[in-house]
Structures are given as structure tokens and as C-alpha cells.
Amino acid sequence: MLAKNEYSKLKTVIVGDATGAKVPEMDASLRCVNYADVADTSSLPGAGLYPQQVIDEANEDLQTFITFLQGEGVRVRRPDLQHQPSYYKFCPRDTVFVHGHNVVYAPMPLIARKEEYMAYTKHFAWSESLKEHRIDISRSEQLYNKDCVGNKDILALNEIEPCFDAANVLRNNDDIFYLVSNSGNHKGADALQELLGTSAKVHKIEDVYSYLHLDSTIAFLREGLLLVNPSRIRNKDQLPEVLRNWDIIEAPEPVDIGHHPGYCNSSTWISINLFSINEHLVALEQHQDNLRKILETHKIECAMLPMRHARTLGGCFHCVTLDLERQNV
């Protein structure tokens, strides 16, 4: 059985790889989903590989993370290096959602990422009990609402077909939380609920954060304890009712780790994109000392690790992982 929450003792995880990471050609999907807030696209980097320095340093930091995980007794898997990405294999979290016996290859909105799931399919061939789901979508021009450009009140995706990144979704056992945003529409949440059936309840989170994913807005630390980004979650009424009685930790203002000139795919809040090894140990970006101090008061130890290009490549420790197995789920 695959992991059903974000914090039980970790047994097996996929960690991404930055090799071959590239900026795709501009199209309607990239313009609306990733760059709706950019008025002048001429300021963006052209299509092609990320600078080699970024790729090399990102892989160094991933290897440091892997060494730490293995020291904690965790089995580490990697993407299929034979699969040549049109975007990258840095963030497996974006691509695949797992819960119980279900493996969902997300119907991702970016055209350049439509085959990215193929880098991970080999990891799900070991058990006949697993149910693999792939939602085929057209990604036609009609899916993308061009009125979203320059208008944060309009989301990028129309409701003509289900569409979402797996990183729009977080798990807490039988409750699944889905962010409606530029990278996930309502039909996507409905399709996920249909696939999961009665095994879990999908709760939509709306009008909180339009840009992309949920895991820079909230983090499940253990049952009853939630870390939130206070610039987006300003009161408990913004959370689904099942979370309103939880204890809430407000993340402090993050330390900006910067980004490679011209390449920026995340806000400074990528800093709260931590990854739990168990209920008392998380991997945290090494400069976030104020957050570390707060978490330690809740008896959560922090492994302070480098992720120099989290903002450049758009992912920190939760993004670059896909937890396959956790204990007692």
C-alpha cells in the first residue's frame, strides 16, 4: 500500500533529478499557467536547457539530500534517466499522485509536461494490487483562459476537461486537499474524487492562491498540526471545515535564497516546502532558521539542508520528492 499522508515514518521515496532540465517553447499553456503575471514575456529566458551551473548545483544538493535520507534508513528511487524530458524531472511531486492502492498520473496543464509521468512508471510495476490511472486530455487552446494574463482574479484553466498537477494535492489519510488554481481546475478535483471513489474525500481549497501548487501554502506536520503561509491563509475559515479545529503554526517571513539571474519559478515562500521524514523530523531549506526555531518548540527537529536553486527551478524538498511508502498507513 502506498503512502496516505505526508508525515508518517518514511520508508521509500522518489527523489528528482535536474539533468536535462529545460525551458520549453512558449505556448498558450505556458503563458497562462506559469506566466500569467508577467506583462512582458521578452524578459523571460528563451527556450533551451537551464544553465549548466544550475543543473550541476541542483544535482549536488539532491545528492546531499539523498545521503541524508539514506542515513535515516529510507530507500531512495530515482526517475528513469532514459526518459528525455521536454521540461524536467526535478519535481516528481508535480507529476504523480499516490494514495493507498491508487497511482494517478496527473493530467498536467503544461503541454511540455504531458509525457513527464513516463519517467516514473517503472516504480509502480512491482505490485499487481496497485491501480494505475491516467486521465487523457486534449490540452486544446480552449482549455486556457487567456483573460488570466495580468488578472489574478481569473484562473488559467477553463472547465472543458479535468486538468491538474499532482502538487495541487495533499493527503491526510482519508482526506485529500485540492487547490483550485492556475494548475488545477474544478473538473480536475471532481475527476480525482471519481477515481478514488469511497476510499477518500476530496476537499477543494479555493480563493487562497491562484498561481500554482498547494505545498507552498500549507504543510501537514502530524495529525492535528498544520503549518500555513500567513500571506495566503489569513484565518481558519479559508480552510476546509475538517481542518478548522487543528493547531495552526504561522510560518515566519522567509529568508530569500535568491535565484539565478533571469530564471525564477517560485516566490520566497518556497521555503516552507519542507518534507517530513517522520512526525518529529523534517528536511528544511538551510537558511530558514526562524522557521526551524518555531518547529523545534513543537518537538520537530529540522535537518537544515541546501537547495540553492529552489526558486530557480521551482521546487524545494516536498516538490523534489514523491513519497511512495510510509509506515502504518
Structural domains in the chain?
10-28+46-140+216-326 (3.75.10.10)
Q: How far apart are CA 152 and CA 267, in angstroms?
A: 15
Beta-bridged to residue 305, according to DSSP, are 285
Active site residue 323: no
Q: Which of 215, 316, 319, 323 is catalytic?
A: 319
Helix (H, G, I), strand (E, B) or coil at 142: helix
Tell me, what's the pLDDT at 189? 98
Q: What is the mean pLDDT of the chain?
A: 95
pLDDT of 329 strictly over 60? no
Tell me, what's the pLDDT at 125? 80
Report the side by side order of strands in the sheet with 169-172.
169-172, 175-179, 201-205
Active site residue 213: yes
Question: Is the model's pTM score more than 0.85?
Answer: yes
Q: At residue 82, what is the residue type?
A: Q
Q: How far apart are CA 99 and CA 278, in angstroms?
A: 17
Active site residue 133: no
Tens-digit pLDDT profile for residues 255-267: 999 999 989 899 9
Q: Which of 17, 61, 94, 165 is catalytic?
A: 165
Q: How far apart are CA 47 and CA 113, in angstroms?
A: 14
pLDDT of 200 strictly over 90? yes
Q: What is the mean pLDDT of residues 32-42?
A: 88
Tens-digit pLDDT profile for residues 296-324: 999 999 999 999 999 999 999 999 999 99
pLDDT of 252 strictly over 70? yes
Tens-digit pLDDT profile for residues 156-196: 999 999 999 999 999 999 999 999 999 999 999 999 999 99
